[in-house]
């Protein structure tokens, strides 16, 4: 059994569809849809999805802030919710810490009082409260702010204090509801690192809601892709990018390069025939292989393409797709994003090293390794 176990969880919000024939009809919005998920002790699992995918509702169900319609939630073998058994522990009895997007600090309390509040609620001795508060404020680099009030803090400082408050009672589970989305880019990077560092030092278990791919990859041990209230795929970042389970998962992860075509041959000798050229593909990367002669859509992530000037000794012109650079933009401090026109007006995005700058208009070859080409039924 995993540390956090969620089984067949369902949650529907009622909404009114309007008057029909003089009657006010109510309909339901299925926000969490028969979802099962497990989190191991000592790991952080990110719930990654677009706005409205159901990830925050799922988090609130785990924390007891929303009541599911069906299913079970247990932590360390203890049931927190069970529709069949009529169990629904209130939030204060679930021993969970929560870091909110809006910080949610009490404005009338000092930093030390905010952080110490969960311990006071547990009737811990005042000397022990003071010692624990000092310890956790030091962990988040806010010891010097203990006597200040929230309005005297920057956004980054407030979120560090909120983080200390969530961890100070050493909860069984820490829940993060997009805690960095209100911060600027530099502060987000700093807080990402601090969360990982805190996990290394005090070894908590967490569930982290975000819509930011980079944030999920940096902070989480595993990532759960949530779409329309359903768990689409769960795995490490490497597993998700190396083997997306479906076309929608690949799309969400940024596999923006697509080509339609027909497969010839079988096994690892198979070839995808497209209007832009022929590409070798692997049987392990072909999803839903029944009806092999049907049309498939090939998807490839921009980071998984090597780009070389045509005729370069580093790559043969027969190794991939030929094209011409039509645009380029600096993608990061050490890389450039290129847009390459291939075939019948199709475009392909790829990333190249900054030191190997290629000019707009340059004829190029896209080197596409078969293991990076994922095919889904059209």
pLDDT, one tens digit per residue, over 101-110 is 888 899 999 9
Predicted local distance difference test score (pLDDT) of residue 258:
94
Predicted local distance difference test score (pLDDT) of residue 288:
73
Average pLDDT over residues 22-30: 64
Predicted local distance difference test score (pLDDT) of residue 37:
97
Cα separation, 35 vs 45, in Å, equals 15
Segment among 13-27, 43-57, 245-259, 325-339 with least mean pLDDT: 13-27
Above 90 in pLDDT, residue 48?
A: yes
For residue 332, the enclosing domain spans 255-304+311-377
> Do residues 353 and 288 lie in contact, with contact meaning Cβ atoms separated by under 8 Å?
no
The model's pTM: 0.89
Q: Is residue 161 part of a domain?
A: no
Q: Is residue 148 part of a domain?
A: no
Q: Please check whether residues 202 and 290 belong to one and the same domain.
A: no
Q: Please check whether residues 268 and 286 belong to one and the same domain.
A: yes
What backbone phi and psi angles, to 5 degrees, belong to 206?
-145, 155
Q: Please check whether residues 219 and 364 belong to one and the same domain.
A: no
Q: What is the band of 193 on the pLDDT scale with cuts at 50, 70, 90?
A: very high
Q: Is residue 235 part of a domain?
A: yes
Q: Please check whether residues 209 and 352 belong to one and the same domain.
A: no
The whole-chain average pLDDT of the chain stands at 90
Q: Please check whether residues 222 and 272 belong to one and the same domain.
A: no
């Amino acid at each position: 059994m995993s540390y956090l176990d969620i089984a067949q969880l369902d949650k529907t919000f009622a909404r009114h569809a309007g008057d029909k024939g003089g009657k006010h009809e109510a309909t339901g919005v299925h926000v969490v849809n028969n979802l099962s998920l497990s989190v191991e002790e000592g790991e952080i699992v990110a719930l990654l999805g677009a706005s409205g995918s159901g990830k925050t509702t799922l988090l609130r169900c785990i924390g007891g802030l929303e009541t599911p319609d069906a299913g079970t939630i247990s932590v360390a073998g203890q049931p927190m919710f069970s529709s069949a058994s009529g169990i629904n522990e209130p939030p204060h009895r679930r021993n969970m810490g929560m870091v909110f997007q809006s910080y949610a600090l009490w404005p009338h309390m000092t930093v030390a009082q905010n952080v110490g509040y969960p311990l006071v609620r547990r009737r811990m001795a005042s000397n022990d409260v003071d010692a624990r508060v000092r310890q956790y404020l030091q962990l988040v680099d806010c010891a010097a702010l203990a006597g200040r009030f929230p309005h005297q803090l920057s956004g980054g400082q407030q979120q560090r204090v909120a983080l200390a408050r969530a961890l100070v009672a050493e909860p069984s589970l820490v829940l993060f509801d997009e805690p960095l989305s209100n911060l600027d880019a530099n502060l987000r990077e700093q807080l990402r690192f601090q969360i990982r560092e805190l996990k290394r030092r005090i070894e908590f278990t967490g569930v982290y809601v975000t819509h930011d791919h980079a944030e999920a990859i940096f902070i989480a041990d595993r990532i759960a892709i949530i779409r329309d209230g359903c768990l689409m795929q769960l795995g490490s970042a490497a597993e998700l990018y190396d083997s997306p389970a479906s076309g929608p998962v690949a799309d969400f992860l940024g596999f923006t390069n697509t080509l339609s075509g027909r497969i010839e041959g079988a096994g690892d000798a198979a070839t995808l025939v497209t209007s832009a050229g022929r590409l070798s593909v692997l049987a392990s990367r072909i999803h839903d292989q029944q009806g092999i002669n049907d049309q498939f859509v090939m998807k490839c992530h921009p980071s998984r393409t090597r780009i070389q000037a045509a005729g370069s000794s580093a790559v043969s012109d027969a190794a991939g797709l030929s094209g011409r650079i039509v645009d380029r933009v600096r993608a990061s401090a050490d890389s450039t994003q290129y847009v390459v026109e291939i075939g019948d007006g199709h475009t392909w995005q790829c990333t190249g090293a900054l030191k190997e700058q290629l000019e707009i208009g340059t004829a190029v070859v896209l080197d596409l390794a078969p293991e990076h080409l994922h095919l889904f039924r059209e």
